[in-house]
Structure 1
Amino acid sequence: MRHSPPSARTRSRRIRRFLVVGLIFVLAAIAVALGYQLPNSSSPSAASPSRSVAPPSRSVAPLSRPVAPPSPSGAPLTHTYRSERRGALGEAGGVVPDGVTVFDDDIPAVANIDPELLKALRQAATAAADDGVEFYVNSGRRSPEYQDHLLREAVSTYGSEDEAARWVATAATSPHVSGDAVDIGRPTATAWLSAHGAAYGLCQIYKNEPWHYELRCNARDRGCPRMYTDPTQDPRMQQ
């Protein structure tokens, strides 16, 4: 069989095909080279393995919320203490975490309230529960150190000892230190006590503190005594 030499057109096609294939290889090589170098210069993931970035520190959420004097507008101030604050300025000294009720015996501020006051509170709370009302405790029995701490904060907040005295008593005169007072949280609970508390001997003592309740046994028969405008009008505070 006789073979004829390839035509000029056929040779031209082959040349173009070789050129295209060669160009593809060249472009692929360039792309590989660029893909290898670019992350080293601009990508954050290309950092040297010897340099490690430390994770951000985890914030520590406050675990306790004691009650302090109200702000000048009348709303109660709240303060937070980290869990490591124990003793006189922690739960043992009277700090009350969120969500504590009058039935929480594991909280010192509740467990160390005067037994008769605590009994009355629990009787009232049981009755209030039938109306869908729960008694939360914002503050109960406090250590003298904790009371002094709150008084210092009040002086700082209000700017004078005289003004602070309208909201926080001294450790020597405070019924919280003696375990004879409780601060009840939630307006629904204080409203219920305002209407029904006297039947259990539970009385609001100060007009400016609708959350502050003490036991007055005679109130079961005679009703609660007239309230003082604020603690500075209470003879017990004059000691």
Structure 2
Amino acid sequence: MGGRSINVETAARWVSSYFDEAANRAAAVAKYGRPFAYPAYDRMATGSGRDDLNDGDLISPLLLNAGPTITAFYSLQSVLPSLLSGLAAVPPHLTLQSAVCDGRHRKLIEGLIGALDAPERIPGVGLTTLTKILHRKRPLFIPLFDRRVKACYLGLGDRYPMHPVSGRTDTTFFSTLAECMVDDIVRQPNHWAALKAEAPEGTSLLRVVDVVAWNLGTDI
């Protein structure tokens, strides 16, 4: 993944463990238990449809330890029309792979992530929180992002596909990251198919990608 690597067997154990609902629910009630966020985040019932965002959707990143703060919540409410417009432009069944292949991804990502680059920005909100909100609505198209995903793809040296660039917008960064993720997926189809098979039926490939990156992106 990006500039880091792990054998498929280890990655499969990560995926299987993360998506073990029974183990996660048991850990939630055990003293000192450390449950993973499946199915709490993935199945969080907010009462909204796939083309809508309500207050419950805006706080869904809390289940992934990614905020938002009160300030960020109000900020997100203020840009809901922009987010909904961007969401409406993305067909529900469009995969990131297909969008990158035909070059549609950059414009579509700009419609969703561009709010972070606007002059007024979104106080208290960054890529991590925003992608975790949007992924639940377009799980085939929007990857999840955090510092561990970033650690897999951005770094110094030739092994990393992305390098630090001063002044790069969030839209450009995320579009480039999406291209790098798709490159990993299409170059290793059998590996990713095997990893996806370790997750519950209906789990998107991008969710599996995130689980692997979250484990792999720790300091090694």
Please give the TM-score of this superposition, normalised by the length of structure 2. 0.25
Structure with greater proportional strand content = 1
The structure having more radius of gyration, on CA atoms, is 1
Structure with greater proportional helix content = 2
